[in-house]
């Protein structure tokens, strides 16, 4: 099958899911106007009370067009919820009302938190990505608007499921925000306009880098006594592919997303390499996570343009965390430092120096925070009842990220079609999960979990 035929197949699949969901919605008459209640206050429930979830809750209540109030919180871990509650009390205490009877713990806590909302309110999903489709399925039934953190999916089956859910949300006129905040960086928005107007000519190469020391739950030691495999894997979610897509999906998706956005299309295939290098703690204990320490991925677009991405989590090396577009007329710096670090700039030639600058973004102070911008944009859409659904591109960005990850983990060239249609659902049945359920991964006698074996295991990642 040719690359153009594969790309057409992908587009037809996405169109078909849209037609099916929209037709079903129209037949059932389920396209109500979704807006805040008569008192004009939008209520918010936070599901997943880690650092990013707490940050999203704070952004939610600080939108320009309030009032917005946090009224419920949920997490699997009581300590995490308590810590988030204390921190938020100190920062937004006047804009939260979450008494003990609206603080919920456990694998079913997401339902109880959303039950505190009315149609048109907002649920924040900031738990590990594996649970996105489960939580969103419940939100759809409650007619809730949603903000969900990235990544959205980690495998093919859940990507298909959530593409269908995206169409159902649009048919219901629900608003869905996705935590790919680069799309709400005013600097990157300005750069996109200039790139598409031909400021750097034809894009001939893209480069992205995220290389620094280990952060988050990148690496994990053997499970300590007194906790279950399931709880340990959920707690250390960056370490396990089923829970988060590992560090590749969780750490690298932003640059992959915004360079695809700049190009105006998604890569159609990827080949890659990667490896595990220093896999022992300073005390000599072997780490048991599934991550590689290094990744080098070459993505290819339908027109043959290449996008090179390098990732590394090793201390003591040269740190690089930025993204670039090379064009026939010059070079653009998309993110100067970080996922979408300002300023973005355009330069003469192919060397981005101060002397070669021909344009540099200048963004007003009140619009410089992309995390706040994405919330202002979501609430604007709710207040004005404008169509607003970022889920489709959020799923596609997650799928393209998984495509590069799978290429590294299998040692094979992986196409968009292969990733979408890969039958390996890493954690089936999460909608029925309880604290007594078996974990999606089983450790061996030494406490080690399955790791990718490129060239040996070729049709799945472990």
Strand arrangement of the beta sheet that strand 203-212 belongs to: 357-360, 345-348, 330-335, 320-327, 203-212, 306-313, 294-300, 269-275, 414-415
Question: Which residue numbers in the chain have pLDDT < 50?
Answer: 1-38
Q: How many helices (H) and strands (E) does the chain have?
A: 13, 15
> Distance (Å, rounded) from C-alpha 137 to C-alpha 424?
21
Q: Under DSSP, is residue 80 helix (H, G, I), strand (E, B) or coil? A: helix
Q: Which residues contact 281 (CB under 8 A, 6 or more apart)?
A: 221, 287
Taking a C-beta distance cutoff of 8 angstroms, is the pair 220, 337 a contact? Answer: no
Taking a C-beta distance cutoff of 8 angstroms, is the pair 170, 30 a contact? Answer: no
pTM of the model: 0.91
Model confidence pLDDT, tens digit, residues 336-352: 999 999 999 999 999 99
- Please, what's the b/e burial string for 116-150 (b: 16 or more CB within 10 A of its CB; e: otherwise)? bbeebbbbbbbbbbbbbbbbbebbbebbbbbbbbb
> Distance (Å, rounded) from C-alpha 14 to C-alpha 392?
9
Give the tokens for residue 299.
């993505």
Question: 122 to each of 79, 100, 117, 236, how far by Cα in Å?
Answer: 24, 20, 8, 27
Give the tokens for residue 23.
């037709």
Q: Does an H or E element contain 84, and which? A: helix 78-92
The domains of the chain, with CATH numbers, are 16-182+371-389 (3.40.50.720), 183-367+400-432 (3.30.360.10)
According to DSSP, the residues that pair with 286 across neighbouring strands are 280
> Distance (Å, rounded) from C-alpha 50 to C-alpha 129?
13
Strand arrangement of the beta sheet that strand 68-75 belongs to: 103-105, 68-75, 42-47, 122-125, 145-148, 176-178
Question: 217 to each of 15, 155, 209, 288, 291, how far by Cα in Å?
Answer: 37, 20, 20, 11, 10
- Please, what's the b/e burial string for 396-424 (b: 16 or more CB within 10 A of its CB; e: otherwise)? bbbbbbbbbbbbbbbbbebbbbbbbebee
């Amino acid at each position: 099958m040719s690359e153009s035929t594969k790309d057409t197949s992908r587009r037809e699949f996405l169109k078909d899911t849209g037609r099916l969901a929209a037709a079903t919605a129209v037949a059932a008459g389920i396209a109500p106007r979704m807006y805040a209640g008569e008192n004009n206050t939008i209520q918010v429930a936070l599901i997943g009370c880690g650092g990013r979830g707490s940050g999203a809750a704070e952004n939610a209540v600080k939108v320009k067009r309030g009032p917005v109030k946090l009224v419920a919180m949920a997490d699997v871990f009581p300590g995490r919820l308590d810590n988030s509650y204390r921190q938020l009390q100190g920062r937004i205490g006047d804009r939260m009302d979450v008494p003990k009877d609206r603080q919920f713990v456990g694998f079913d806590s997401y339902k109880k938190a959303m039950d505190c909302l009315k149609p048109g309110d907002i649920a924040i999903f900031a738990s590990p990505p594996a649970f996105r489709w489960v939580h969103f399925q419940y939100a759809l039934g409650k007619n809730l608007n949603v903000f969900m953190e990235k990544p959205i999916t980690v495998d093919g089956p859940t990507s298909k499921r959530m593409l269908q859910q995206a169409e159902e949300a649009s048919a219901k006129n629900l608003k869905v925000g996705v935590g790919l905040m680069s799309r709400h960086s005013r600097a990157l928005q300005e750069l996109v306009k200039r790139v598409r107007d031909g400021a750097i000519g034809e894009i001939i190469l893209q480069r992205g880098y995220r290389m620094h020391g280990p952060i988050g739950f990148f690496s994990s030691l053997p499970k300590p006594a007194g906790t279950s495999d399931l709880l340990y894997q959920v707690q250390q979610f960056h370490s396990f592919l089923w829970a988060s897509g590992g560090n590749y999906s969780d750490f690298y998706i932003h640059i992959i997303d915004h360079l695809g956005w700049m190009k105006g299309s998604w890569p159609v295939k990827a080949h890659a390499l990667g490896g595990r290098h220093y896999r022992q703690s300073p005390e000599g204990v072997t780490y048991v996570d599934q991550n590689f320490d290094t990744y080098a991925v070459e993505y290819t677009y339908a027109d043959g343009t290449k996008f090179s991405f390098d990732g590394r989590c090793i201390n003591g090396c040269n740190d690089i965390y930025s993204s670039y577009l090379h064009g026939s007329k010059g070079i653009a710096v998309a993110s100067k430092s970080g996922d979408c670090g300002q300023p973005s700039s355009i330069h003469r030639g192919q060397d981005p120096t101060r002397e070669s600058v021909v344009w540099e973004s200048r963004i007003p102070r009140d619009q410089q925070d992309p995390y706040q911008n994405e919330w202002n944009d979501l609430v604007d859409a709710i207040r004005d009842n404008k169509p607003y659904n970022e889920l489709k591109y959020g799923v596609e960005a997650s799928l393209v990220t998984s495509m590069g990850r799978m290429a590294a983990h299998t040692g094979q060239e992986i196409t968009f079609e292969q990733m979408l249609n890969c039958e390996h659902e890493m954690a089936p049945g999460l909608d029925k999960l309880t604290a007594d359920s078996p974990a999606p991964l089983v450790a061996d006698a030494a406490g080690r979990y399955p790791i990718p074996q490129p060239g040996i295991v070729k049709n799945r990642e472990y």
